[in-house]
Amino acid sequence: MNILVINWDPSLGIDLGFFMIRYYSLMFVLGFGIGLFMMKKMFLNEKVSVDKLDPLLMYVVIATILGARIGHFLFYDPQFLWQHPLEVILPFKLNPFKFTGFQGLASHGAAIAIIIALYFYSKREIKKPFLWILDRIAIPVALAGFFIRIGNLINSEIIGKPTNIDYGFVFVQLGEDFPRFPTQLYEAFGYLAVFFLLFYIYWKTTKKDTLGYLFGVWLVTLWSVRFIVEFWKESQGGIETMFNINLNTGQLLSIPLILVGFWFVFRKK
């Protein structure tokens, strides 16, 4: 027995007989719930009405689901997007009808959609500068990324490459008998480190008063984590086939976000 090899075969949820509560969904709920609690603390700290939290949650939840869903097919399977547009945005298949949930989510799509949604939120609801809300939402979003990647691990999805040594996770549910890099954990704890960094900057430094700084740090650090972990992650296809370089789709999509982040960090106040 090798303690560095883990046979990974967890239950996917709690079976109630008539319905299964999936752990992946619980990770989503946990991420949003803690994020809402943190935003309430920041609003109270800055004397902003907590009545503005309900519309904020609505904007972020809708943007996350639709953005991640559309982004997955736009970046990884565009042909399906054009052929079955309704099945992309609805949690079920047609002809014949089958409930599927939202399978296939892209974090890059979610990030872009959240930024767009928060622009309208800042103008219509909170009446604060766009960068003000981006700076603050970046903190709980980094933590939500941690929970979502733990959910991916539970689902045995977004897997790493084979390690070819006696180290890693054997994903039994995929019918495999060899270990892979646990890239879900690499990414999850990378995002957790980003969360603690942003949390420290907000509560302990004066940088939070520089509009766009926290948002820039989030872009640079979180997407750098994604870029690095992708080297050990199994390719998911997508737009990488359009380029003759040794980078996958996740890395190609992360590069512009990192560059924009550097601009926000180093631009003049």
pLDDT tens sequence across 46-92:
888 889 898 998 888 888 888 877 776 666 666 665 665 555 555 55
Is residue 145 in a domain? Answer: yes
Instruction: Please give the average per-residue pLDDT across 190-217, as a whole number.
Output: 91
Q: Which residue has the higher pLDDT, 238 or 119?
A: 119
Length of the chain: 269
Share of the chain above pLDDT 90, in %: 42
Higher pLDDT, 103 or 124: 124
What's residue 97's pLDDT?
56
Calculated CA dihedral for residues 174, 242, 72, 231, nearest 10 degrees: 50
Two tokens, residue 83: 């052929």
Taking Cα atoms as reference points, which of 104, 101, 48, 97 lies closest to residue 76? 104
pTM of structure: 0.83
- Average pLDDT value over all residues in the chain: 84
Q: Is 13 within a domain?
A: no
Give pLDDT, residue 157. 86
Predicted confidence at residue 65, as pLDDT, reads: 82
Radius of gyration, alpha carbons of the chain: 19
Residue 169 falls inside a structural domain: yes
- The confidence score (pLDDT) of residue 180 equals 95
Which of the two residues, 94 and 69, has the higher pLDDT score? 69
Q: Determine, yes or no, domain membership for 89.
A: yes
**Residue 185 maps to a domain:** yes
Is residue 140 domain-resident? yes
Any domain includes 247: yes
Range of the domain at 55: 22-266
What pLDDT is stored for residue 77 in this prediction? 64
pLDDT at residue 107 in the model: 75
Q: What are the CA-CA distances from residue 10 to residues 13, 133, 168, 187, 226 (Å)?
A: 9, 38, 15, 19, 25
Residue 205 domain-assigned?
yes
| Residue 1 or 217, more confident | 217
| Count of domains observed in the chain | 1
pLDDT above 90 for 256: yes
